[in-house]
Amino acid sequence: KNQVEQSPQSLIILEGKNCTLQCNYTVSPFSNLRWYKQDTGRGPVSLTIMTFSENTKSNGRYTATLDADTKQSSLHITASQLSDSASYICVVSPRAGKSTFGDGTTLTVKP
């Protein structure tokens, strides 16, 4: 069964600090992995998309990494800002069939 597990479930950090969110998956055969940011009361917004051949992708202060051999991905946030407070969702898609969504990590950035 395809699964996506995200950790930690929630995280609190101080403004300006860095943090790393984890995503482990069992989806196979793998096609792509996406990280979304979802602000409270809003729809998810795409941060990064990585295919099998990509092992890192950046979007401003967000950097995602992918290890297709160990089936792990991480999202690193540099110099966090208050506006980074949100839920971060990892989505993994197989080459055929439906995507599997993680439960998300809730990040709170405090001043």
Q: Please report whether residue 93 would count as binding another protein according to CB under 8 A.
A: yes
* Spatial separation of the C-alpha atoms in residues 108 and 101, rounded to whole Å: 21
Positions 65 through 84 that interact with another protein (CB under 8 A):
none
* Distance in angstroms between the alpha carbons of the first and the last residue of the chain: 41
> Two tokens at 8?
């930690």
Pairing between β-strand 72-77 and β-strand 56-59 as defined by DSSP bridges: unpaired
Q: Please report whether residue 1 would count as binding another protein according to CB under 8 A.
A: no
Output phi, psi for 82, to 5 deg.
Answer: -55, -35
Scanning 19-27, 28-36, 53-61, 71-79 for contacts with another protein by CB under 8 A, the matching segment is 28-36
Spatial CA neighbour of 84 closest among 61, 57, 54, 52: 61
CB of 104 to another protein, least distance (A): 7
Scanning 18-26, 59-67, 77-85, 89-97 for contacts with another protein by CB under 8 A, the matching segment is 89-97
String marking each residue 30-49 x if it binds another protein according to CB under 8 A: -xx-x------xxxxxx--x
Binding site for another protein (CB under 8 A): 31-32, 34, 41-46, 49, 51, 89, 91, 93, 98-99, 101-104
